[in-house]
Structure 1
Amino acid sequence: MKNKTVIVTGASTGIGKAIAQYFVDKGSNVVLNSSNKENLVAAYKELGSPANAIYFAGDISLKETGKRLVAMAKEVFGTVDVLINNAGVFAPKPFLDVEETDLDFYWNINLKGTYFTSQAAIPEMVEHGGGSIINVGTVLVDHAIDGFPATAPLASKGAIHSLSRQLAAEFGKKNIRVNTIAPGIIRSPLQGKIGIEDADSLAGLHLLNRIGEAYEVAEAAYYLASSEFITGETINVAGGHTVGHAI
């Protein structure tokens, strides 16, 4: 992946920042994105303001943001080799309390952001003989939890899982690999945002009896980005969350 160009959305905190750090350290050219400019600039500085990274603050739900990220990647680094659609929002809310505005919120950021940014990147990948798209979903798509009602964000995340498989089918002959990473409980600022004060208290949801670290998702992203023969797959980075239960 050295000198390959990687776009990472939602790169200012948590998993996205860890992914950006991992690729920067491996010598990839990285384009970081977040809707929060202050956090994005802080993240870039935390990475050491590397010469092989640039950033652009923009709302990923807007079609123009994806186009801008691709244009910047081409202008500064020459190509778009990897797109990691990590930007997303997630919070629990009981099904009967969900409003239309909630559905629009998750649909726009999670699904449209992934959809339109992929739409901007794929023509460049086709032109240069291939590439890799990695979409970030969640294990909850296939492993629902009664005590964590989240139908609104999960509907959008489930759509992302389906989108990955269909894009893998449509663009496989163009050597574009499209896969999904489905994290379990990962230590990140997201936990605090949704009211979980002690993320480690959820360790029992995983057979390994611990929560995951952001760098472990980054390792999976790097593997999928560099693999030439994996497409249409969902990789669970979840410590056995979807496999079974401890009692």
Structure 2
Amino acid sequence: MYAELFRLDGRVALVTGGSRGIGLACAEALGEAGARIAISARSRDEGEKAVRHLAGKGIEALYLPADISSESAAQAVVKQAAAELGGLDILVNNAGIARHGDSLDVKPETWDEVINTNLTGLFWCCRAAIETMVAAGRGSIVNIGSISGYISNLPQNQVAYNASKAGVHMLTKSLAGEFAKNNIRINAVAPGYIETAMTQGGLDDPEWSKIWLGMTPLGRTGKPSEVAAAVLYLASDAASYVTGSVLTIDGGYTIH
């Protein structure tokens, strides 16, 4: 009985930023559970490479190019996925960027780039998906937040990124309350330091990595698959009574 709750046979899932790292792992996890998969990413080369990777795992996936920092592109890619795959049951909002730097040095274009991609574009994707899910009478959205939505990281300064992820957490709760009546569950995960291209620079820095790992009780970085497993849970019927939650996956970093 319980294993069946995690199955997604016959459902359609779109993963934004699905060409690598956490996004690709999420696409793989949902595909293995039986969902039909669409992924979006800005880079066509990376998107097509991801589709080939998934095919090697026996998962057929559709690649849709999109830069979700644009309102029109964000809504269009969600609607395209639903049109081409016959609906949309699951949306995983993973597309995101990080920019480090002192707050007094942040340029307006850098602030806009981070906020538009990580928060504003995520909202437009949610809204387009919700429109489809309301008509269907069900749906599940999982947003990729961050421990940076709870704490201000050390030693790097990243004010725009932190603000964007705090916004993702509150946006998740707000939408969850608004659309629970439509049987649409909206949750988020808050990863800590995960082994991805986004964190590799920091992990390669002796000062940064010493602090990152030293503040993580489990004493290691996480793997994309460990985040993807939580996303699968939240997307599936195993989490049928879970909405408005932010599940932290950080090796204990935020218990301090």
TM-score band w.r.t. shorter chain: over 0.9
Q: Shift of the alpha carbon at 1:29?
A: 0.7
* TM-score, reference length from structure 1: 0.93
State the alpha-carbon separation in 2 of the partners of residues 92 and 122 from structure 1.
32
Matches within 5 A, 1:175-194: 175-192=183-200, 194=201
Provide, for residues 160-209 of structure 1, a one-character-per-residue CA deviation record: whole Å limited to 9, x for no partner. Answer: 111101001110111111111100000011123x4531686532221111
* TM-score, reference length from structure 2: 0.89
State the alpha-carbon separation in 1 of the partners of residues 75 and 105 from structure 2.
35
State the alpha-carbon separation in 2 of the partners of residues 67 and 108 from structure 1.
13
Alignment of 1:209 onto 2:219: yes
- Give unpaired runs (5+ residues) of structure 1: none
Q: What is the identity percentage for the equivalent residue pairs of Structure 1 and Structure 2? A: 34
State the alpha-carbon separation in 1 of the partners of residues 77 and 240 from structure 2.
24
Give the match for residue 134 of structure 2: 126
**Which range moved further: 194-203 or 99-108?**
194-203
Runs of at least 4 residues off by over 2 Å: 49-52, 63-77, 198-205
- SS in structure 1 of the partner of residue 253 of structure 2: coil
- Letter of the 2:223 counterpart: E
Matches within 5 A, 1:1-247: 1-48=8-55, 52-192=60-200, 194-197=201-204, 201=210, 202-226=212-236, 227-244=239-256
Provide, for residues 80-116 of structure 1, a one-character-per-residue CA deviation record: whole Å limited to 9, x for no partner. Answer: 1111110000122111211211211111111121011
Higher helix share: 2
Q: How many residues align?
A: 243
State the alpha-carbon separation in 2 of the partners of residues 188 and 74 from structure 1.
28
- Letter of the 1:222 counterpart: L
Q: Shift of the alpha carbon at 1:146?
A: 3.8
- Give unpaired runs (5+ residues) of structure 2: 1-7
